[in-house]
Amino acid sequence: MADQTFNDDPQHEPTATSTWSRLLAGNRRFAQGKMTHAWQDRETRESLLDSQRPDAAVLSCSDSRVPPEIIFDAGLGDMFTVRTAGQIIDDSVLASLEYAVDKLHVSLLVILGHQHCGAIQAAEAQLGALAARVRHGDDSPQTAQSLASILDEIEAMDDAGAADSAQDQLGEALEQLVSHDDSPIVRSVGPSVLQAYEAQLRDGADIERVHIAHTIETLVDRSQPIQQALADERLVIVGARYCMDTGLVEVLSF
């Protein structure tokens, strides 16, 4: 396969707005069970043998229930997808997305989280174990607690000053433990959970939304090429969340 694309002239590329509108229209078809399955035929496959020209790049969770091409009713060559558990960003993810932006000239980058994210649930459960270790010096199954219940205990203390101090100490200790945890999911997703709890957000949907925002922040902070594309107005980043019960994509930022 030749290392070239059809997108050598940025002036002929679809705008981020038109691309996002097309993807949302495809998602509505999917949610309504009216998919067209366009651009999935032999002719399309053969036309893409030597090059590709996706309009959008998507970073999404690896969850088998959230395949971007299906939920957006997209076809071959429509989108450049990168998938990791919990949208974790590592060096290979950065390199892949930077390739999509600088070499394939995508104008739209979608960070797609989803309802009932297992990575977030796993990180939240591990944070409970870490919090129990900090508070009680014990994280055995017999003394396991959720992070929410431990914070509730602290907030219920009679001495408000002592409660604030205990909460601050717990937060600082958890940040350190999370940053050095053996699990990449805890290291990458744990900060989003902590950020949500600090904002008094404990509902799973709210934590998922915070994680999407945190993922965007992490991506931009770590990638100079993406920073430059945003500054040059060659790229728009969208935050979105897929709702499995409705089939619809919730737009968080555009």
51-65 confidence digits (pLDDT tens): 888 999 999 999 999
Q: What is the mean pLDDT of residues 80-108?
A: 97
Identify the pLDDT of residue 144.
64
Q: What is the mean pLDDT of residues 16-30?
A: 96
CA distances from 11 to 8, 206, 234 (A): 9, 38, 10
**How confident is residue 78, by pLDDT bands cut at 50, 70 and 90?**
very high
pLDDT higher than 90, residue 137: no
Q: Which domains does the chain have, with CATH numbers?
A: 16-117+206-253 (3.40.1050.10), 119-202 (no CATH)
**How confident is residue 157, by pLDDT bands cut at 50, 70 and 90?**
confident
CA 97 to chain centre: 13
In angstroms, rounded to a whole number, what is the distance separating the alpha carbons of residues 223 and 221? 6
Identify the pLDDT of residue 6.
35
Identify the pLDDT of residue 138.
64
In angstroms, rounded to a whole number, what is the distance separating the alpha carbons of residues 174 and 179? 8
What DSSP state is assigned to residue 143? G
Q: 236 φ, ψ to 5°?
A: -125, 135
More confident residue, 136 or 94: 94
Identify the pLDDT of residue 139.
60
Q: Identify each DSSP E strand in 62-137 by its residue range.
A: 79-84, 108-114
170, 154 Cβ separation under 8 angstroms: yes
pLDDT higher than 60, residue 141: no
SS (H, E, C) 15-78: CHHHHHHHHHHHHHHHHCCCCCCCCCCHHHHHHCCCEECCCEEEEEECCCCCCHHHHCCCCCCC
pLDDT higher than 60, residue 232: yes
In angstroms, rounded to a whole number, what is the distance separating the alpha carbons of residues 63 and 85? 7
Q: 253 φ, ψ to 5°?
A: -160, 145
Q: What is the mean pLDDT of residues 145-163?
A: 81
pLDDT higher than 50, residue 170: yes
Q: 108 φ, ψ to 5°?
A: -130, 130
Q: What is the mean pLDDT of residues 146-153?
A: 84
In angstroms, rounded to a whole number, what is the distance separating the alpha carbons of residues 228 and 124? 34
Least confident among 94-98, 129-133, 135-139 = 135-139
Instruction: Record the pTM.
Output: 0.86
100-118 confidence digits (pLDDT tens): 999 999 999 999 999 999 9
Q: What is the mean pLDDT of residues 115-123?
A: 96
pLDDT higher than 60, residue 7: no
Mean pLDDT of the chain: 89
CA 211 to chain centre: 6
